[in-house]
Amino acid sequence: MANDRIETALSEVLDRITKKPSPPKMSAALRHAVLDGGARVRPKLCLAVAYACGDQHESRLAAAAAASIELIHCASLVHDDLPCFDDADLRRGKPSVHAAYGEPLAVLSGDALIVAAFETLARCSAGNPIRANSLIVDLALATGAPNGICAGQGWESEADIDLAAYHRSKTGALFVAATRMGARAMGEDPDPWTTLGAKIGEAFQVADDLRDALLDSEQLGKPAGQDAVHDRPNAVAHLGVDGAVKLLDSILEGALEAIPPCDGDKALRAIVRQQAERLVPVGVARTVA
Amino acid sequence: MANDRIETALSEVLDRITKKPSPPKMSAALRHAVLDGGARVRPKLCLAVAYACGDQHESRLAAAAAASIELIHCASLVHDDLPCFDDADLRRGKPSVHAAYGEPLAVLSGDALIVAAFETLARCSAGNPIRANSLIVDLALATGAPNGICAGQGWESEADIDLAAYHRSKTGALFVAATRMGARAMGEDPDPWTTLGAKIGEAFQVADDLRDALLDSEQLGKPAGQDAVHDRPNAVAHLGVDGAVKLLDSILEGALEAIPPCDGDKALRAIVRQQAERLVPVGVARTVA
């Protein structure tokens, strides 16, 4: 259900931004960057929070919020795969955008997806213009500078990395946006939802470290062992596999505890557990039931 | 007056996006990309239209609209200068962002400036949330796909260029945004203002072609002769200098005629003439008084 809403919302955006007179190759690159692939972890979290806050699978603003977050995530993958960053030829099990369409269209497609994310929210403002504006600010805070995902990636150009700021911005910011915007779209105060997003972001980072260290490129759908190659901080290198798994489980417990009291908290708890399971490589011993 | 408002609005944005915990080099790159340099042609046009529509130099939304357009323009310059596009080391008489701070921070700074542009409009929505949302859609249309400046640049990756779409998107879109958003910010219907922006965009493109063909790098503050180097369409190559000047003057006449009747149309006419004069290399014979 959530999946259908996300794909429908994303398809509508892609139809809008690839119609004439868009240059044909750029249209293809935009579709390549967003459709067919991607676990949609962030938009699912956003809709799960909206559902917990009373969305009956019908809020256009919640669907727009979810889609806008995924568009920013896709844009960040396209730009992060560029030769000047990860130089990755593989993404989501297919060629990265720059590998398939060249570097110029990879830069431009990423730019256009960022634009499309904000446009999507502004276009869903009917009836709730104030809420739409607040969602745009939420998304901007998670995306740009001083502490969105762009700033997070920017830490990799510093000699002295502020590790806490790096992780909080690079991975955490969009998860925080997911929970906050899911609540905000339903007219709820987003502040009590910040910790849940931050904890899930932390968990996701550790799970990603485990996957990067333990899986091969085919299993990952992207180049493996990249943290070691790029000398990036990785929890497995720091704590070992067992230590990283213990850390992951303790963060997840914290995430579950951070869910604010609401009508849908049980369902949300189940979704968080289920998504968390999907993140961890099969065969890794776990302590959280 | 307009100049002060633009610089103040841009400084406020830069202060916001470079505060802690922004990575220091990225903050420096963001300031480098926006401040100290730039003729601010687009935001001045936006404020001139707002003034013609009744702004008494006090509309926060008009200043935000002007600043947001300049932020998008600055982002486009940072990305267009990247090695995979123009590979330009010089911009606005100083090193381009990638030359000064490296390619990763150039990509990220451009991204963050796009985000900041939309955030700036959303943050000025108090009292006028519907108008702010419409301005965000206007800016998105001018920036992304299918026919904003990203799509315009995307035409350079096509074997068969749709030249009209290319120029309309690559150069015209932000000028159309400038006139439309200036009117919209003041609560006026933006549609009658579209032609003025489009004509000024066309004039600017021809003037830019003249400057690229006739001036050297020091006079331009960026590499000269780039259209020939990159085999891009250039009016001077196509029509000769005299032909290009005649074309420019006839477009400018059309622009002046396209100014909708309004209280401030005389002042606006003077501003358009004055800005147009600044665009054309000194010593080129003109027919428009």
Q: Coil, strand, or helix at residue A245? A: helix
What is the mean predicted confidence (pLDDT) over B254-283? 85
What is the mean predicted confidence (pLDDT) over A158-164? 89
pLDDT (tens digit per residue) in A193-249 = 999 999 999 999 898 888 888 888 888 888 888 888 877 778 888 899 999 999 999
Phi, psi (rounded to 5 degrees) for B90: -125, 140
Q: Coil, strand, or helix at residue B280? A: coil
Of B20, B27, B114, the CB nearest to A115: B114
**Tokens coding B73:** 């323009």
pLDDT at B285: 60
pLDDT (tens digit per residue) in B10-32 = 999 999 999 999 999 999 999 99
Residue in A with minimal Cα distance to B144: A112
The distance of A151 to chain B (nearest Cα, Å) reads 6
Q: Are B17 and A144 in contact (CB under 8 A)?
A: yes
Chain B within 8 Å of A169 (Cβ-Cβ)?
Answer: yes
Q: List chain B domain ranges.
A: 2-279
Of B101, B122, B150, the CB nearest to A111: B150
Chain A, 92 to 121: residues with Cβ < 8 Å from chain B are 101-105, 107-108, 110-112, 114-116, 118-119, 121
pLDDT at B225: 82
From the list B13, B14, B71, B80, the residue with the least C-alpha distance to B40 is: B71
- A112 and B150: CB-CB below 8 Å? yes
Indicate which of B19, B86, B119, B135 best probes the interface with A, i.e. most A CBs within 10 Å of its own CB. B119
pLDDT at A223: 83
pLDDT at A286: 60
- A146 and B111: CB-CB below 8 Å? no
- A145 and B22: CB-CB below 8 Å? yes
From the list B141, B142, B288, B19, the residue with the least C-alpha distance to A123 is: B141
- B147 and A18: CB-CB below 8 Å? no
Chain A within 8 Å of B25 (Cβ-Cβ)?
Answer: yes
Alpha carbon of B281 to those of B40, B167, B247, B248, B277: distances in Å? 18, 21, 15, 12, 9
Residue A79 scores a pLDDT above 60: yes
Residue B63 scores a pLDDT above 90: yes
The distance of A59 to chain B (nearest Cα, Å) reads 18
C-alpha–C-alpha distance, residues A109 and A25, integer Å: 10
**Tokens coding B14:** 């830069």
Task: Return the higher-pLDDT residue of A282 and B244.
Answer: B244
Residue A287 scores a pLDDT above 60: no
pLDDT (tens digit per residue) in B102-131 = 999 999 999 999 999 999 999 998 889 999
Any idea what the Cα angle at residue B286 is, between residues B281 and B289, rounded to 5°? 115
The architecture (CATH level 2) of B2-279 comes to: Orthogonal Bundle (1.10)
Indicate which of B77, B108, B174 best probes the interface with A, i.e. most A CBs within 10 Å of its own CB. B108
- A21 and B79: CB-CB below 8 Å? no
Chain B within 8 Å of A127 (Cβ-Cβ)?
Answer: no
Interface ipTM > 0.85 = yes
pLDDT at B283: 66
Residue in A with minimal Cα distance to B118: A118
- Beta-strand ranges (E) seen in A32-136 are 90-91, 94-95
- The mean pLDDT value of chain B amounts to 92
Determine if the pTM surpasses 0.90. yes
Residue in A with minimal Cα distance to B104: A84
**Tokens coding B75:** 């982002």
Chain A within 8 Å of B157 (Cβ-Cβ)?
Answer: yes
C-alpha–C-alpha distance, residues B82 and B146, integer Å: 22
pLDDT at B127: 87
